[in-house]
A and B are shown apart, each in its own frame.
Chain A
Amino acid sequence: MSKYRNIAFAAAAVLLLGCAGASAQPAKQTAKPAAKAEAAKPDAKPDARLHIGQPATAQQIAGWDIDIRPDGQGAPPGQGSVKQGEEIYMAKCAACHGEFGESAGRWPQLSGGAGSIASPDPVKTVGSYFGSVSTVLDYVRRAMPFGDAQSLTNDELYAVVAYVLNLNDVVDDKFVLSKDTLAKVKMPNAGGFFEDDRETAEKSFWNPKPCMSNCKPEATITGRARVIDVTPEDKSAGKVE
Chain B
Amino acid sequence: MSDTNVSASPSRRRFLATASGLVAAGVASPVLAQDAKIDAKALPPNVADWSKALGEGVVAHPYGSPSKFEKHVIRRDVEWLTASRESSVSFTPLHELDGIITPNGLCFERHHSGVAEVAPQDYRLMIHGLVERPMIFTFDDLKRFPRVNRIYFLECAANSGMEWRGAQLNGCQYTHGMVHCVEYTGVPLKVLLAESGIKPSAKWVLAEGADAAAMTRSIPLSKILDDCLVAYRMNGEMLRPENGYPARLVVPGWEGNMWVKWLRRLKLGDEPWETREETSKYTDLLADGKARKHTFVMDAKSIITSPSPQAPIKGKGFTVISGLAWSGRGKVKRVDVSVDGGRNWREATIDGLVLDKACVRFYAQTQWNGEPWLLQSRVIDETGYVQPSKDDLRKIRGVNSIYHNNGIQTYAVKPDGEVENVEVS
Task: Give A contacts to B, CB under 8 Å.
Answer: 48-56, 60-61, 64-71, 96, 105-108, 117-120, 122, 124, 126, 129-132, 134-136, 138-139, 142-143, 146-147, 149-150, 192-198, 201-202, 204-208, 210-226, 228-234, 236-241
Q: Which residues of B contact A205 (CB under 8 A)?
A: 299, 385-388, 392
Q: Which residues of A contact B144 (CB under 8 A)?
A: 50, 52
Contacting residues of chain B (20-61) with chain A, CB-CB under 8 angstroms: 24
11 of the cross-chain contacts (CB-CB < 8 Å) are A50-B195, A64-B126, A64-B264, A67-B208, A118-B288, A131-B279, A201-B396, A206-B383, A216-B343, A218-B340, A224-B420
Residue pair A229, B11 in contact (C-beta under 8 Å): yes
CA distance A126 to B280 in the complex (A): 8
Tell whether B203 is near chain A: CB-to-CB under 8 Å.
Answer: no
How far apart are B352's CB and chain A's nearest CB, in angstroms? 23
Residue pair A221, B424 in contact (C-beta under 8 Å): yes
Given A55-B135, A211-B345: A50 and B145 within 8 A (CB)? Answer: yes
Q: Which 5 A-B pairs have the closest CB atoms?
A: A219-B341, A118-B289, A238-B1, A142-B214, A225-B421
Stretch touching chain A among B76-84, B233-241, B315-323, B359-367: B76-84
How far apart are A46's CB and chain B's nearest CB, in angstroms? 11
Stretch touching chain A among B147-155, B162-170, B222-230: B162-170
How far apart are B195's CB and chain A's nearest CB, in angstroms? 5
Besides A223-B167, A229-B10, 14 other A-B contacts (C-beta < 8 A): A49-B195, A50-B144, A66-B214, A117-B285, A139-B280, A147-B86, A194-B293, A205-B388, A225-B420, A233-B14, A234-B1, A237-B76, A238-B3, A241-B71
Q: Which residues of A contact B213 (CB under 8 A)?
A: 142-143, 149
CA distance A107 to B412 in the complex (A): 36
Tell whether B136 is near chain A: CB-to-CB under 8 Å.
Answer: yes
How far apart are B313's CB and chain A's nearest CB, in angstroms? 17
Residue pair B17, A238 in contact (C-beta under 8 Å): yes
> Closest residue of chain A to B135, judged by CB?
A53
Residue pair B170, A225 in contact (C-beta under 8 Å): yes
Residue pair B279, A240 in contact (C-beta under 8 Å): no
Q: Which residues of A contact B141 (CB under 8 A)?
A: 52-53
Q: A67, A105, A198: which contacts B267 (Cβ < 8 A)?
A: A67
Q: Mark B124-139, 1 if CB is under 8 A from A, else 0.
A: 0011100001111110
Chain A contact surface mostly? loop
Q: B169, B293, B341: which contacts A193 (Cβ < 8 A)?
A: B293
Q: Which residues of B contact A131 (CB under 8 A)?
A: 274, 279
Q: Which residues of B contact A217 (CB under 8 A)?
A: 343, 425
CA distance A238 to B341 in the complex (A): 33
Tell whether B380 is near chain A: CB-to-CB under 8 Å.
Answer: yes
Tell whether B117 is near chain A: CB-to-CB under 8 Å.
Answer: no
> Closest residue of chain B to A240, judged by CB?
B71
Given A215-B343, A237-B17: A52 and B276 within 8 A (CB)? Answer: no
Contacting residues of chain B (196-219) with chain A, CB-CB under 8 angstroms: 206, 208, 212-214, 216
Q: A65, A195, A240: which contacts B128 (Cβ < 8 A)?
A: A65
Residue pair B10, A233 in contact (C-beta under 8 Å): yes
> Closest residue of chain B to A221, judged by CB?
B422
Residue pair A195, B293 in contact (C-beta under 8 Å): yes
Q: Which residues of B contact A52 (CB under 8 A)?
A: 137, 141, 144-145, 195
How far apart are A2's CB and chain B's nearest CB, in angstroms? 11
Residue pair B279, A135 in contact (C-beta under 8 Å): yes
Residue pair A139, B275 in contact (C-beta under 8 Å): yes
Residue pair A219, B342 in contact (C-beta under 8 Å): yes
Residue pair B273, A67 in contact (C-beta under 8 Å): yes
Residue pair A193, B340 in contact (C-beta under 8 Å): no
Residue pair A223, B423 in contact (C-beta under 8 Å): yes
Residue pair A196, B296 in contact (C-beta under 8 Å): yes
Residue pair A138, B385 in contact (C-beta under 8 Å): no
Residue pair A231, B290 in contact (C-beta under 8 Å): no
Residue pair B388, A224 in contact (C-beta under 8 Å): no
How far apart are A173's CB and chain B's nearest CB, in angstroms? 25
> Closest residue of chain B to A134, judged by CB?
B274
Residue pair B136, A55 in contact (C-beta under 8 Å): yes
Residue pair A226, B11 in contact (C-beta under 8 Å): yes
Q: Which residues of A contact B1 (CB under 8 A)?
A: 234, 237-240
> Closest residue of chain A to B276, judged by CB?
A139
Tell whether B378 is near chain A: CB-to-CB under 8 Å.
Answer: yes
Q: Which residues of A contact B18 (CB under 8 A)?
A: 234, 237
Residue pair B279, A54 in contact (C-beta under 8 Å): no
CA distance A147 to B87 in the complex (A): 10
